Chains A and B, each alone.
Chain A
Amino acid sequence: MSDKIGIYVCECGPNISSKVDIERILEEIAALEDFRDKELIVKQHKLLCSVAGKAFLEEEIKANELTHLICAACSPRDHDSTFKEVCKKAGLNPYMYKIVNIREQCAWVISDKEKATDKAIQYIHAGMDRVVYQQPLIEKQLDSNPDVLVIGGGIAGLQSALTLAGKNRRVFLVEKSAELGGTSIHFQKLLPRQGSDTATRNRKIKEVNKNPYIKVFTSTELSKIVGFLGNFEIVLKNSENDSETELLAGAVVLANGFQQANPQDFEGYNYTDNDEVYSALEIEKMYSETNQITMKSGELPKTVALVHCVGRKEVGYCSKICCNYLIKISDYLQSISSDIEIIDLFQDMCLPEKEDQEYYEELAARVIHSQRVTGTKVAGNKLTYTGINGRETTIEPDMIILAPAIIPAADNVHFANLLNIELHETGFFQEAHIKINPVSTNTDGVFVVGANRGACSISDAVIQAQAAAGKVLTQLIPGQKIIPEVMVSEILEAYCTGCQTCLEVCAYGAIYYDAERGISVVNEAICRGCGNCVGSCPSGSIRTRHFTNPQLYQEVKEALRK
């Protein structure tokens, strides 16, 4: 009889001790003398997670040469990892231990002390039955590559690269067009009232180009990527000469930007019929190239209508930046000529930043005739709008400037497939958690920044870029080993029929098909051990370590004994 199970019941101060009869637990568990032919050591402690408690446990494991350990205490979500660390220090494989939750599931929810005690004994017993079926698991250590791939040379990509390189991190910056700058390359001025911003942006591009830690690839696209946090194998393709570059990186920051919707796609904006209807981006380009905003005839317009919310209803979200940039365009116009009449047709005015209101009010007082409307239509050179009183008015301005919705870049789907990250129903990327983890994705080591996760201002793009750089710098430290999850799925070759059902259900893209052997294989570094594949496998050839069928069956059996 060499196996010894140590069962330690935590009083958790008065939390457990006042609600269950710990003495009776100790008696009844110790009375299971011939339990599976194993020696039982049953003790209690005031507070197992305290420094003294952990030292006590460590000493007990060593002195008694325990082969299995049960801690009857709180929720595994609180202290599972605490006791696993104690096991490691004491030389016991941490997967030969199990925490049994007698606080949240007994002491705190069953008011009758007798019943709570019965329940605690039942749970401990089930834990003991399970723990003898557990197997030691060995953690692996993998080398990690600290370099970072940044996709997209717009503001978000430039800022990510600069922040990472500021910490001497090597960055590969990939831009599909021939030059850096992204969409904002066309903007003459940036909000709010920063004057000419071409200088600021050009300075960023210059800094990136001369930074020894940043290698820039223009006219280049990502063609292939496999791997996981700390270990991505990447193939880049140059679109000019079709040459390929292979490289390694540890993380990916995706900043592929956005596109402006074509107003033609929305009902009521017949924009090709009239030469004098422009999208805001066309005006930005015209102004930055010629320093003028003129009609096709070359003359200055006398009246200009600004139309907000083009496609707002159809796409189903507010594009956040349009109200602001239309105000900026009216600023452009009035700086060209104070005689231009500006009619501003808005449905809702979205001015989210603290500086915005003042800027708007100042221009509204001098140059903008603002009018709240419930709808607008453009046909030929006529613009018809419906006022809030329901009355329709038709005007014939010299020039109409539309603010079309910001929509996802066309390559979002391509990147979602390549990097195995999720798309939101709008087509923008889905964050790991919109509030508490907003630049991470469901794939470790892949981050999304800028307008690819929803319309955003340039300052937001910079904030997100710096956030993602911070994430990379704390998750991917040079020289640090990566310890992948050990409670992962494995596929038994002999049973696998190669049906590939598991490939479809795996949310992490952790399974690939080995055509040569005709079986599916789990990439253990990517697998998170959810067991989705186990549930879906028709031939029962997959098991998830530490949550195997025999282990769960034992728990079920004991849970139903009485």
Chain B
Amino acid sequence: MDSKEFKPRIVGFLCNWCTYAAADMAGASRKDISPSLNVIRVMCSSRIDHNLLLTTYFNGADGILVAG
């Protein structure tokens, strides 16, 4: 594999009640999802505050998905 290939690191904060359930359904339907996405389950997307977003960027995330 080309070591220079850009592999983004994306953190997805998914709401337990909606988006996480949708991700489950994507799994059950055998959709192809890139390993670049790192899912973290939260009980509601409203839980995500600027601290958590900044911490995620400081830890090297290329992108953040907040879905709920």
CB proximity to A under 8 Å, residues B20-39: 20-21, 23-24, 26-28, 30-33, 35, 38-39
Contact B55 A531 (CB under 8 A): no
CB proximity to B under 8 Å, residues A108-128: 108-111, 115-116, 118-119, 122, 126
Main secondary structure of the interface of B (DSSP, over half): mixed
- Cα separation A557 to B28 with both chains bound (whole Å): 28
Measured between beta carbons, the chain A residues less than 8 angstroms from B61 are: 556, 560
**Contact residue among A528, A540, A555 (Cβ-Cβ distance under 8 Å from B40):** A555
Task: Report if A465 contacts B (CB, 8 A).
Answer: no
**Contact residue among B28, B33, B47, B59 (Cβ-Cβ distance under 8 Å from A544):** B47
- Cα separation A555 to B61 with both chains bound (whole Å): 13
- Cα separation A77 to B47 with both chains bound (whole Å): 19
Which chain A residue has the least Cβ–Cβ distance from B31?
A109
Measured between beta carbons, the chain A residues less than 8 angstroms from B41 are: 76
Measured between beta carbons, the chain B residues less than 8 angstroms from A126 are: 38
- Cα separation A115 to B33 with both chains bound (whole Å): 11
How far in angstroms is the closest Cβ of chain A from B58?
9
Task: Report if B2 contacts A (CB, 8 A).
Answer: no
Contact B43 A530 (CB under 8 A): yes
Contact A535 B49 (CB under 8 A): yes
Contact A560 B11 (CB under 8 A): yes
Measured between beta carbons, the chain B residues less than 8 angstroms from A557 are: 59
- Cα separation A12 to B40 with both chains bound (whole Å): 22
Task: Report if A103 contacts B (CB, 8 A).
Answer: yes
| Most chain B C-beta atoms within 10 Å of own C-beta, residue among A505, A532, A534, A560 | A560
Contact B23 A104 (CB under 8 A): yes
Main secondary structure of the interface of A (DSSP, over half): helix
Contact B55 A530 (CB under 8 A): no
CB proximity to B under 8 Å, residues A514-562: 528-532, 534-536, 540, 544, 547, 549, 552-553, 555-557, 559-560
Contact B35 A115 (CB under 8 A): yes
Contact A547 B38 (CB under 8 A): no
Which chain B residue has the least Cβ–Cβ distance from A108?
B27
**Contact residue among A77, A118, A119, A530 (Cβ-Cβ distance under 8 Å from B21):** A77
How far in angstroms is the closest Cβ of chain B from A491?
15
Which chain B residue has the least Cβ–Cβ distance from A531?
B47
Contact A530 B59 (CB under 8 A): no
- Cα separation A529 to B44 with both chains bound (whole Å): 8
| Most chain A C-beta atoms within 10 Å of own C-beta, residue among B28, B31, B49, B61 | B49
Which chain B residue has the least Cβ–Cβ distance from A556?
B56
How far in angstroms is the closest Cβ of chain A from B11?
6
Contact B43 A552 (CB under 8 A): no
- Cα separation A408 to B32 with both chains bound (whole Å): 48
Task: Report if A188 contacts B (CB, 8 A).
Answer: no
Measured between beta carbons, the chain B residues less than 8 angstroms from A110 are: 32-33, 35
- Cα separation A549 to B54 with both chains bound (whole Å): 12
Contact A547 B47 (CB under 8 A): yes
Measured between beta carbons, the chain A residues less than 8 angstroms from B40 are: 552, 555-556, 559
- Cα separation A110 to B26 with both chains bound (whole Å): 11
Task: Report if A105 contacts B (CB, 8 A).
Answer: yes
A108/B28 contact (C-beta < 8 A), A115-B35, A540-B51 known: yes
Contact B52 A552 (CB under 8 A): yes
Measured between beta carbons, the chain B residues less than 8 angstroms from A528 are: 43
Contact A529 B43 (CB under 8 A): yes
Task: Report if A158 contacts B (CB, 8 A).
Answer: no
- Cα separation A282 to B47 with both chains bound (whole Å): 53
Measured between beta carbons, the chain B residues less than 8 angstroms from A535 are: 46-49
- Cα separation A534 to B52 with both chains bound (whole Å): 11
A105/B39 contact (C-beta < 8 A), A75-B27, A549-B52 known: yes
Measured between beta carbons, the chain B residues less than 8 angstroms from A547 are: 42-43, 47
Contact A109 B33 (CB under 8 A): yes
Measured between beta carbons, the chain A residues less than 8 angstroms from B33 are: 105, 109-110
Measured between beta carbons, the chain A residues less than 8 angstroms from B23 are: 104-105
- Cα separation A75 to B28 with both chains bound (whole Å): 10
Task: Report if A419 contacts B (CB, 8 A).
Answer: no
Contact A104 B28 (CB under 8 A): yes
Contact B35 A118 (CB under 8 A): yes
**Contact residue among B26, B38, B46, B52 (Cβ-Cβ distance under 8 Å from A559):** B38
Contact A560 B59 (CB under 8 A): yes
- Cα separation A531 to B16 with both chains bound (whole Å): 12
Task: Report if A451 contacts B (CB, 8 A).
Answer: no
Which chain A residue has the least Cβ–Cβ distance from B49?
A535
- Cα separation A537 to B24 with both chains bound (whole Å): 31
Task: Report if A171 contacts B (CB, 8 A).
Answer: no
How far in angstroms is the closest Cβ of chain B from A311?
36
Measured between beta carbons, the chain A residues less than 8 angstroms from B28 are: 104, 108
How far in angstroms is the closest Cβ of chain B from A527?
11
Contact A505 B59 (CB under 8 A): no
Contact B46 A531 (CB under 8 A): yes
Measured between beta carbons, the chain B residues less than 8 angstroms from A61 are: none
- Cα separation A118 to B7 with both chains bound (whole Å): 14
Task: Report if A487 contacts B (CB, 8 A).
Answer: yes
Contact A560 B42 (CB under 8 A): no
Contact A105 B46 (CB under 8 A): no
Supply 8 A–B pairs (Cβ within 8 Å), ascending by A: A105-B39, A109-B26, A110-B33, A126-B38, A487-B43, A535-B47, A540-B51, A556-B61
In addition to A544-B47, A560-B56, A560-B60, 5 A-B residue pairs with Cβ atoms within 8 Å of each other are A105-B39, A109-B30, A111-B32, A535-B48, A549-B52
- Which residues does A use to contact B, with CB under 8 Å? 75-78, 101, 103-105, 108-111, 115-116, 118-119, 122, 126, 487, 505, 528-532, 534-536, 540, 544, 547, 549, 552-553, 555-557, 559-560
Nearest 5 pairs between A and B by C-beta?
A: A104-B27, A531-B47, A530-B44, A559-B38, A109-B33
